[in-house]
Structure 1
Amino acid sequence: MTSLFQILMLLIDVAFFIVIAHVILSWLISFGVLNMRQPIVAQIWDGLNRLLEPVYGPLRRALPPMGGLDLAPLVVIIGLYVVEIILRNNVAFFL
């Protein structure tokens, strides 16, 4: 059962890094460092959006408008940390 705990922790880590990659890529596109006309950038951006929009969409509708500031990634990161804390505090159930 320890392997189940480790797999869950790995999935949380992967999700965290995907959200961070999406945030960094959005900043780079917004500041003009990356060009959306480059095919690889457009494909990565589209893939990350397709992957994260089912998570971000309901959060964006629930969060109040912040004048162009998107807080959905922050809420997702906090949620991932909450799930990680809950799993770590209940690791005895996986032993």
Structure 2
Amino acid sequence: MIALIQTIVMALDIYWWLIIASAIFSWLYAFNVVNPRNQFVGSVGNFLFRVTEPALRPIRRILPDLGGIDISPIILLLILFFVRQFILTTVAPALI
């Protein structure tokens, strides 16, 4: 059972970094730091969008319009942190 919990925590950690990478990539793309016509850049951006958008879309629907500022990645990171800490402090000790 501990192996399952460790695998879930590892998946949450990987998703955490994918959300941060997606946010940074969107800033680089918005400010024309990266070349959008480059095939590698496009495929990385497409991958990050497809991985993170299903989790960010419901949060964006709930949040009010903040005038171009998207805080949905921050909200999602807080949710992931809460779930991770809940698993490590409540679920894991109960199984040991």
Which TM bucket (shorter chain)?
A: over 0.9
Tell whether the 8 Å contact from 1:28 to 1:34 is kept in structure 2 after alignment: yes
Higher relative contact order (CA 8 A, sep 6+): 1
- TM-score (ref. length: structure 2): 0.92
Partner SS state of residue 4, structure 2? helix
Q: What are the equivalent positions in structure 2 for 1:1-95 lying under 5 Å apart? A: 1-90=1-90, 91-95=92-96
TM-score between the two structures when normalised by the length of structure 1: 0.93
On the 8 A contact 1:22/1:48 being kept in 2, the answer is yes
Runs of at least 5 residues in structure 2 that lack an aligned partner in the other structure: none
**Deviation string for 1:46-91 (max 9, x for gaps)?**
1111111111111111000000001110111000000011011121
Shift of 1:35: 1.1
Q: Pick which of 58-67 and 45-54 moved more.
A: 45-54
Runs of at least 5 residues in structure 1 that lack an aligned partner in the other structure: none
Q: 22-31 or 73-82: which moved more?
A: 22-31
Q: Please give the alpha-carbon distance, in whole angstroms, between the structure 2 residues aligned to 1:47 and 1:78.
A: 22
Superposition CA RMSD, Å: 1.0
Identity rate, percent: 32
Offset at 1:40?
A: 0.6
Matched residue type, 1:83: V
Count of residues in Structure 1 that have an aligned counterpart in Structure 2? 95
